[in-house]
Amino acid sequence: MFIKVLKSKIHRARITGTHLEYEGSISIDQDLIEAAGLLEGEAVLVANLNNGTRQETYVMRGPPGSGMVRLNGASARLGAPGDLVIIMGFAYLAPDELAAHQSRKVVVNEQNRIVGGP
């Protein structure tokens, strides 16, 4: 049996843009992806603090140092620039792995620059 647990999250990031005419996903500043331990193509849950939506999508790499958090494709309908989101990645662990597991939490400021975390 495996248990789904929070692997990492980017906490209170601001959406910097939307791109409706795209195939889908969320584009995130590469520096944030690496700090959170996420992978390009990894499934993530995005919780929008402004409108309450929760969506599952996948990570695409944005330019490093850009602060980019852009909703693409259908996801663009679920948020607007300036909205605060929590981006969460999960892992499936065996019960004997749970005690050693620690989730990563990357906290960002208004410009999506890292101010706390790993």
Residue 89 contacts residue 9 (beta carbons within 8 Å): yes
Is residue 58 part of the annotated active site? The answer reads yes
The end-to-end CA distance of the chain, in Å, is: 29
Give the list of residues 6+ apart from residue 97 with CB closer than 8 angstroms, or none: none
The active-site residue, picked from 8, 22, 27, 58, is 58
Residue 25 bears catalytic tag:
yes
Catalytic residue among 25, 66, 75, 103: 25
Q: Which residues are catalytic?
A: 25, 58
